[in-house]
């Protein structure tokens, strides 16, 4: 049977092309049912307050960096969404006198403009956000060396090479409305992918690269970072690839409740739990990763019931 056309953007793949029964099953999940979706290789964690949620997210940075030594360097790959944990990371590092000289950090993604990565002067620069909210706040005598901070660039060779010889303990991220991690968006519905999206195996071969962003991603980023000003948001970005993702010991996804919506949280958790991997829902491909953790703020779970506003 032919796959449905997207009801969001017919020239693209996305979650609206999935079988209707899968979408219905996801919408019916209660918080208790979500908590029960864990299995070997997939952990589901709930936090009752936003304070405990963001503190736990920040502690993933600290725990990863504590494990780093000169002979066995360790790093974390971190997101811009969420960002609330970043000042907490700096505060904890300073309070604990945590020496970061052997630790590493990879930024997940960056905007792509005019053939190059967005400069720090761009109002939406991810690298600048990481520095201003976290790394510039860490005391100089504790600070991570500049050579150990890795951000995607138009020439991805140095970024990809930085993953060799350093263990990535955690790849941390959020979930976008198109169900991506980083900017691993679903592809256009064209060429060899006109009738079916790429197979999970094909998608997993992708490394750090320039991606064209799904229209829903442009809308989301305008909403969360630009007051709804869609022309402000670049149409392309650099993003860490599945190939690097599978080098991380753990993929840790944080759901505070405002980057995606109640339906999206339920859909990807269900697909990963049941091993349903489909490139139209890139997050679902994590069903094949050996260690994935979804962390939810309980107050952000919401419901999928009809409610008029």
**Residue 97 forms part of a structural domain:** yes
**Residue 221 forms part of a structural domain:** yes
Residue range 271-284, pLDDT digits in tens: 999 999 999 999 99
For residue 307, pLDDT over 80 is answered with no
**Residue 63 forms part of a structural domain:** yes
Please answer whether residues 81 and 130 qualify as being in contact, where contact means their C-beta atoms are separated by less than 8 angstroms.
Answer: no
Domain that holds residue 164: 57-208+216-238+264-289
Mean pLDDT of 243-254: 98
pLDDT of residue 158: 97
Question: At 295, is the pLDDT very low, low, confident or very high (cuts 50, 70, 90)?
Answer: very high
Please answer whether residues 17 and 214 qualify as being in contact, where contact means their C-beta atoms are separated by less than 8 angstroms.
Answer: no
Please answer whether residues 44 and 269 qualify as being in contact, where contact means their C-beta atoms are separated by less than 8 angstroms.
Answer: yes
Triad 44, 50, 56: Cα angle to 5°: 55
Of residues 273, 224, 301, the one with CA closest to residue 46: 301
Residue range 180-229, pLDDT digits in tens: 999 999 999 999 999 999 999 999 999 999 999 999 999 998 888 888 88
For residue 131, pLDDT over 80 is answered with yes
pLDDT of residue 200: 98
Domain containing residue 114: CATH number: 3.40.50.1360
Mean pLDDT of 18-31: 97
Q: 134 versus 233: which is more confidently predicted?
A: 134
**Residue 301 forms part of a structural domain:** no
Give the C-alpha distances (Å, rounded to integers) separating 44 from 21, 169, 224, 272, 298: 23, 18, 25, 11, 12
Judged by DSSP in three states, 268 sits in helix
Handedness of CA 213, 7, 283, 230 (dihedral sign): positive
Please answer whether residues 142 and 100 qualify as being in contact, where contact means their C-beta atoms are separated by less than 8 angstroms.
Answer: yes
**Residue 8 forms part of a structural domain:** no
Of residues 200, 227, 178, 219, the one with CA closest to residue 286: 200
Strand partners, 62: none
Q: How many structural domains comprise the chain?
A: 1
pLDDT of residue 217: 95
pLDDT of residue 305: 82
Triad 200, 201, 202: Cα angle to 5°: 90
Q: Give the Cα separation of 284 and 267 in Å (integer).
A: 9
pLDDT, mean over the chain: 96
Q: Give the Cα separation of 125 and 146 in Å (integer).
A: 17
CB atoms within 10 A of CB 238: 27
**Residue 303 forms part of a structural domain:** no
Mean pLDDT of 245-261: 95
**Residue 134 forms part of a structural domain:** yes
Rg of the chain over Cα atoms, rounded to whole angstroms, equals 19
Please answer whether residues 256 and 46 qualify as being in contact, where contact means their C-beta atoms are separated by less than 8 angstroms.
Answer: no
Of residues 94, 39, 84, 36, the one with CA closest to residue 62: 94
Please answer whether residues 289 and 246 qualify as being in contact, where contact means their C-beta atoms are separated by less than 8 angstroms.
Answer: yes
Q: Maximum distance among all alpha carbons in the chain?
A: 62
Strand order in the sheet with 167-173: 42-47, 292-297, 248-255, 167-173, 74-78, 104-107, 149-150
**Residue 24 forms part of a structural domain:** no
């Amino acid at each position: 049977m032919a796959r449905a056309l997207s009801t969001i953007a017919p020239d693209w793949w996305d979650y609206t092309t999935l079988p209707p029964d899968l979408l219905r099953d996801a919408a019916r999940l209660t918080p208790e049912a979500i908590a029960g979706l864990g299995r070997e290789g997939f952990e589901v964690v709930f936090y009752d307050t936003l304070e405990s949620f963001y503190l736990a997210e920040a502690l993933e940075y600290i725990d990863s960096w504590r494990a780093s030594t000169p002979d066995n360097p360790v790093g974390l790959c971190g997101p811009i969404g969420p960002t609330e944990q970043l000042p907490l990371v700096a505060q904890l590092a300073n309070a604990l006198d945590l020496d970061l000289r052997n630790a590493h950090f990879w930024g997940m993604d960056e905007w792509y403009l005019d053939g190059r990565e967005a400069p720090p002067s761009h109002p939406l620069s991810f690298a600048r956000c990481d520095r201003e909210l976290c790394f510039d706040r860490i005391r100089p005598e504790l600070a991570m060396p500049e050579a150990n901070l890795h951000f995607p660039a138009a020439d991805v060779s140095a970024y990809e090479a930085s993953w060799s010889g350093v263990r990535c303990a955690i790849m941390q991220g959020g979930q976008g409305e198109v169900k991506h991690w980083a900017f691993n968006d679903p592809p256009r519905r064209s060429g060899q992918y006109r009738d079916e999206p790429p197979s999970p195996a094909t998608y997993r071969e992708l490394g750090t690269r320039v991606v064209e962003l799904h229209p829903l991603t442009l809308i989301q980023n305008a909403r969360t970072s630009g007051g709804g000003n869609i022309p402000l948001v670049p149409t392309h970005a650099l993003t860490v690839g599945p190939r690097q993702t599978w080098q991380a010991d753990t993929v840790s996804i944080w759901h505070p409740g405002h980057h995606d919506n109640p339906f999206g949280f339920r859909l990807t958790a269900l697909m990963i739990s049941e091993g349903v991997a489909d490139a139209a829902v890139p997050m679902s491909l994590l069903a094949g990763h050996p260690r994935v953790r979804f962390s939810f703020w309980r107050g952000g779970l919401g419901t999928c019931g009809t409610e008029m506003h």
